[in-house]
Amino acid sequence: MSAASPSKPPPRLLDLVRQQTRLLHYSLRTEEAYVHWVRAFVRYHGLRHPSELAGPDITAFLTWLAHDRQAAPGTHRQALSALLFLYQKVLRQPVPWVDEIGHPKGERRLPVVMSVDEVAAVLARLDVNPLGGQHAPVGLVGRLLYGTGMRLLEGLRLRVKDVDFDRRALIVREGKGFKDRVVMLPASLELPLRDQLSRSHAIWRDDRAAGLAGVHLPHALARKYPRAAGSWSWQWVFPHAQVSVDPRTDIRRRHHLLEGAFQRAFKSAVDDAGIAKPASPHTLRHSFATHLLQSGYDIRTIQELLGHADVSTTMIYTHVLRLGGGAVRSPLDNLGPARHGTPAGPAAAAVPPANAARYPATGHAATVRPARECPFDAAASAGESPCLPTVPDPAFATRYRPTPSFAAAATSAS
């Protein structure tokens, strides 16, 4: 009589979370974030199983996260979404306490934008970055992000088949929200991209000779088209220098250039350029949209290039332009020189202000005399004031009274 085979152990909680995220076709980043917060939630409650916990326990964890850990509202919302996913999709438990949990208030921040000169300085330093070797063209990646408005991972995941030199277009596959879109290929990047494709082709040829597995293909394309992963058209435009292991399939293959390498190179370039802004690679996308608006392109065109579902998301860049120094004149600039500390005297008078009126023909500064109010008095009647008649008129004071100041009257009345 044969011994009974040992029963298969039940799957672990985190494995169930991974299975459910893949069943619903969530991205790898979402899967990693949800696993992280479920693990943190279990550790916070002393390794107790979430099925033994309820709404007050979730509230206690989120309160600790917001109060003790000083988490941002975005981090708070991500943790709450992960726990709701755990109870609703993985454990299949009702959550009647979901309305009792406080939801963090959304925040609306203006994007960080660099000027044209700052972008040029950063891109110039990316070209000489130590990471910018044969297999890490960080300078070309930076120019691609700024020239097209793509997100960092969208640019790094670019494949050979999605580069169209004839139409001068790039196709972004499965961007944010799994949406495809078309962006323009800058004319100045056509030759550098052809050179990069030549280097990528040499790497692909060596990988085929070594019998290495092909690149990762989305969904079930690897099963439908077994040879597609090893074809040239599906290869990465920016392949990584080293071969790595796929985290989901454990297959040893070549990945694209990692975003961490470019992020470190970009931060170093920003520091070397002396730019005191919290700039990141995503700042190139913000600068792309803002500079297009400054060039006169309409908001709908920029919305399509960025891939925004709602134009209100794109309108955030109009706020950046309206709140700038070139849009509204500060009342401090309307004060006299002596009132806000500007040097007065012959030296200050010799230099005309930047916004002074000028003659169109010569460009010289025009003399603008302020209007004067001339009261009727004895000195004026003697001919010392040109705005009054030389012969005194007794009815002048009654006919030409000063205009009353309604603002001053309202102020005194209040």
Q: Catalytic residue, from 176, 199, 240, 255: name it.
A: 176
Assign 6 to helix, strand or coil. Answer: coil
Residues in the chain, overall count = 414
DSSP string for 199-223: HHHHHHHHHHHTT-B----STTHHH
Q: Catalytic residue, from 157, 216, 291, 308: name it.
A: 308
The question of whether 8 is a catalytic residue gets the answer no
Count Cβ neighbours within 10 Å for each residue of 34-44 and write b for 16 or more, e otherwise: bbebbeebbee
Q: Catalytic residue, from 36, 135, 161, 282: name it.
A: 282
Angstrom distance (rounded) from CA 326 to CA 110: 17
Cα 147 from chain centre: 14
Dihedral of CA 186/190/194/195: which sign?
Answer: negative
Do the bridges between strand 239-245 and strand 181-184 make them parallel or antiparallel, or are there none, so unpaired?
unpaired
Q: Which amino acid is at 255?
A: H
User: Which residue carries 């989901």 as its tokens?
Assistant: 248
The question of whether 151 is a catalytic residue gets the answer yes
Angstrom distance (rounded) from CA 77 to CA 365: 58
User: Which residue carries 């169209």 as its tokens?
Assistant: 164
Q: Which among 175, 12, 17 has a CA at the least distance from the CA of 81?
A: 17
Retrieve residue 245's tokens: 């292991």
State phi, psi for 282 to the nearest 5 degrees.
-70, -20
Angstrom distance (rounded) from CA 12 to CA 214: 31
The question of whether 252 is a catalytic residue gets the answer no
Angstrom distance (rounded) from CA 95 to CA 314: 36
The question of whether 69 is a catalytic residue gets the answer no
| Helical spans, DSSP H, in 273-357 | 281-294, 299-306, 311-314, 316-322, 346-350
The question of whether 372 is a catalytic residue gets the answer no
User: Which residue carries 């990465």 as its tokens?
Assistant: 236
Report the 10 Å Cβ neighbour count for 111.
15
Q: Catalytic residue, from 151, 157, 286, 291: name it.
A: 151
Angstrom distance (rounded) from CA 28 to CA 36: 12
The question of whether 48 is a catalytic residue gets the answer no
Residues annotated as catalytic are: 151, 176, 282, 285, 308, 317
